């Protein structure tokens, strides 16, 4: 994917923010990229623009040094007036990314709870799905090189974490009783949780870094190791038509759990 793959208006956003980010970075190494759907290649007309700015030294935030960020904030407001939502510029240090990658690639599966993500922030998702705008020092290139081979330690850690949960809930009597009671709130949360865990397992089995909260089925549909008719079954499971359908939801999800665990050899 190249910058020309995006509409001209998005290319114009990139061009305006390059010098803005350079000024914010100052006299140090830097890299500029976008994440989210633009980075993953799943963007559409409703997508926003999520800039990342990587530097060696920690940058002050806009509340700490507003004059440093004045041009950035003004540009965001101008583009919003034109119908383009820019979700800010997220400054990160190279050191914090390096440390987080060390942990995850070594098998530490620890999503960070942040308010804007459902299942936690996954550093591998973010780094792997960056569209690079400027990387003159090879910062992002070095990270992507580290991710070029899916690590066995990560695969085993993800499988261990999420298959253990599926095994637990597959036979838990509390869950079965909630189904019998038609406990809507519990079942909505539990069903989404278990579907997410199944998806995490499928990403690991297919040695693909998790894509994040959005567009999961678009990725899973391309996998070789996946239960039959997965997308259709997930949609039916997540949207039961009535309270009486919870028993069917439970049975369908149990079947999907069993098939996923069999694929994982657990």
Give the tokens for residue 237. Answer: 């499971």
This prediction has a pTM of: 0.89
CATH superfamily of 3-146: Beta Polymerase, domain 2 (3.30.460.10)
Spell out the domain ranges in the chain. 3-146, 152-264
The label of the residue with tokens 């299942």 reads 119
For the stretch 72-98, pLDDT in tens is 999 999 999 999 999 999 999 999 999
Dump pLDDT digits (tens) for 156-202: 999 999 999 999 999 999 999 999 998 989 999 999 999 999 999 99
């Amino acid at each position: 994917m190249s910058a020309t793959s995006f509409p001209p208006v998005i290319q114009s956003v990139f061009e305006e923010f390059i010098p803005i980010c350079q000024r914010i970075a100052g006299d140090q190494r830097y890299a500029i990229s976008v994440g989210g759907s633009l980075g993953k290649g799943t963007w559409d007309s409703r997508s926003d623009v999520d800039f990342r700015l990587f530097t060696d030294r920690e940058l002050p935030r806009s509340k700490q040094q507003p004059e440093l960020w004045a041009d950035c904030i003004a540009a965001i407001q101008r583009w919003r007036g034109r119908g383009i939502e820019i979700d800010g510029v997220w400054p990160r240090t190279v050191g914090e990314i390096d440390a987080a990658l060390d942990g995850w690639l070594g098998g530490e599966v620890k999503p960070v709870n942040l308010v804007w993500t459902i299942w936690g922030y996954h550093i591998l998702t973010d780094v792997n799905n960056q569209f690079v705008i400027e990387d003159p020092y090879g910062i992002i290139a070095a990270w992507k090189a580290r991710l070029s081979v899916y690590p066995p330690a990560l695969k085993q850690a993800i499988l261990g974490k999420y298959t253990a949960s599926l095994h637990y809930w597959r036979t838990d009597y509390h869950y079965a009783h909630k189904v019998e009671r038609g406990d809507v709130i519990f079942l909505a949360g539990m069903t989404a949780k278990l579907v997410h865990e199944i998806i995490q397992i499928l990403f690991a089995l297919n040695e693909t870094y998790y894509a994040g909260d959005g567009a999961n089925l678009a990725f899973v549909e391309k996998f070789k190791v996946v239960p039959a008719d997965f997308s259709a079954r997930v949609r039916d499971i997540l949207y039961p038509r009535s309270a009486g359908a919870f028993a069917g939801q439970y049975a369908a999800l149990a079947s999907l759990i069993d098939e996923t665990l069999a694929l994982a050899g657990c």
